[in-house]
Chains A and B, each alone.
Chain A
């Protein structure tokens, strides 16, 4: 009898996930204990540098300047109160997210109307002014059914920020979201992005991380119907003393869905630390799905640490494909030898290899104005170290 019950429940599977990687959520702050750093989801994070975001420091709404550049037709009302918190299906799974949602007095929204194609990027600039107070923010992006748009978030300045961005991609919609963390050296950001991908919708996330003292971003994709696609590309460059952490979770909650996660990072300078956790769960219901996740790190100098952990949990074997790859290394000697055997001096060969490493990803972005900017930024980062090395 018990066996039958379990079978029925399994067949209807979307129930509890028994895994420490994605604990049960709650909006109640007190349901999340103050982390000690020993927890699986916190063990890589330098809690002491979070300026109390993870414990009890008061969170306020500002000062933080949020400016929108909105093409015609795009709406962005501010919604007071709690009505939009969790609108995408999101439930906070850690204390900082719960605290951010509880403290944010309102929600900034961006809504792309149904059947609308927005031909220039929607730009959102979030700038901290260096005031000492820790800030909470909640934002919701909604791409209504069959719309098509690109949203570019740019985070800059100095701030201590805990934020949640919920993204709802309606049925058949195509949404690209670009996130650029280009903070000043003293900034701390712990961000949470949660996207619900509708039936036959496609979502592309481009996650760029350069600046800040500690940047830890959680990004979760789930599917509200079959046929949805999520492509999540990331590029990061950690300098001396910087901590950059990306925690990805793709929850295949519907059949025939696809996900492709590729993050590439470079590290240079003493104490540069990057963390990449790539979790993929294929639920019993998610037959015929296809998933791939990949993380590559290029360690440019001594004294850096790159942690990279891909996790794949499969509850059905009836899938098209599932794969992951992770590699962290120094310069490939064979690549350098090949280039140098063509007369290219060592420093120039290194520069070519790093450019190539990132170009490979940058050319998949397909947002032309951003590609140029990223090439330039990579060049500027390289000038700090690699070009100087010889």
Chain B
């Protein structure tokens, strides 16, 4: 089971001119086994939603709630949220020089499971995950995200998704900067995760093209820190044809 429930979430950031409200009351429920896409123009608050759910210190929650299977995520530290089953694939994964991918993955897996993975099966699992994402086994000896191409960074995020096996994955513009081959590989990674029992996915994207490979159950249009409209896959098709203008104008009125 996995239900991510976001209720009237309000979030602000500190700016030079004082706090600025970015999310102005977001309500969303990702039900058991569902994939929701959030689409919106730049600056609409999509990434803020992703990072504030994960607990990035830059964002201040000023109202609302976020729960995962009824547990209050906002009350947890960043790492507690991950151990509760939340995973955030980042748009710009961070370099950690001198820490190998192998060491990183094993440390994370140990933290999430509360015990070290069995060596023999773990090595097999890691190599399998890397192979499925078209990453060479030598990849695990490189420093985390250091010198990775844009595509390698995103595929590395997907390898983590596969190995860490969270309940809910928030994917922040995982499709950005990918060529079509890399987009397919990453989409397959997302779909393999969705095939597992009861996994939720919140797919944040600026473009519709990834939705050709990852079919969402629901699509939400995000404008000015709010969900402007929700619908099925047909809403993505409308955005593909007409862009965000209709929603931006409606929000400005």
Give me the interface of A with B, judged by CB distance under 8 Å.
332-335, 337-346, 348-349, 352-353, 355-361, 363
Contacts and interface: CB of A to CB of B under 8 A. Distances in A.
Given A348-B111, A360-B143, A337 B98 contact: no
Interface string B93-118: 11111110001100110011000000
Given A335-B96, A338-B93, A343-B108, 19 more contacts: A335-B94, A337-B78, A337-B94, A338-B96, A339-B108, A341-B90, A342-B82, A344-B79, A344-B107, A345-B111, A346-B79, A349-B79, A352-B103, A355-B99, A356-B96, A356-B97, A356-B98, A359-B98, A360-B98
Contacts of B99: 352-353, 355-356, 359
Given A337-B57, A341-B88, A358 B98 contact: yes
B90 to A, nearest CB: 7
Interface in B176-203: none
A353 B111 contact: no
A23 B104 CA distance: 48
B209 interface: no
A360 to B, nearest CB: 4
B62 interface: no
Contacts of B79: 340-346, 349
Contacts of B57: 333, 337
A288 B88 CA distance: 48
Contacts of A348: 107, 111
Nearest to A358: B98
Pick the 6 closest A-B CB pairs, nearest first: A356-B98, A359-B98, A360-B98, A343-B82, A342-B108, A356-B99
9 contacts: A338-B93, A339-B107, A340-B78, A341-B54, A343-B83, A345-B111, A353-B96, A353-B99, A359-B99
B160 interface: yes
B96 A340 contact: no
B94 A334 contact: yes
B134 interface: no
A344 B108 contact: yes
A333 B55 CA distance: 12
A353 B78 CA distance: 17
Interface string B62-81: 00000000000000011101
Contacts of A340: 77-79, 82
Contact of A342 (B77, B103, B164): B164
Interface residues of B, number: 30
Contacts of A355: 98-99
A21 B208 CA distance: 60
Given A340-B77, A341-B78, A346-B79, A357 B98 contact: yes
Contacts of B97: 356-357, 360
Contacts of A339: 96, 104, 107-108
Contacts of B112: 342-343
Contacts of A337: 56-57, 78, 94
B82 A341 contact: yes
Contacts of B98: 355-361, 363
Nearest to A333: B57
B99 to A, nearest CB: 4
Contacts of A343: 79, 82-83, 108, 111-112, 164
Nearest to B99: A356
A280 B82 CA distance: 47
Nearest to B95: A335
Interface string B37-76: 0000000000000000011110000000000000000000
Nearest to A356: B98
Interface in B137-194: 143-144, 160, 164
A374 to B, nearest CB: 12
A263 to B, nearest CB: 15
Contacts of B94: 332, 334-335, 337-338
A356 B94 CA distance: 13
B111 A342 contact: yes
Contact of A352 (B82, B95, B96): B96
A334 B57 CA distance: 10
Nearest to A296: B97
Contacts of B55: 341
A39 B44 CA distance: 56
Contacts of A334: 94
Specify which of B79, B94, B108 lies most central, judged by the most chain A CB atoms within 10 Å of its CB.
Answer: B79
A348 to B, nearest CB: 7
B159 to A, nearest CB: 12
A345 B83 CA distance: 10
A277 B107 CA distance: 37
Nearest to A360: B98
A342 B108 CA distance: 6
B54 to A, nearest CB: 5
Nearest to A362: B98
A199 B103 CA distance: 42
Nearest to B51: A337
Contacts of A338: 90, 93-94, 96
A345 B94 CA distance: 17
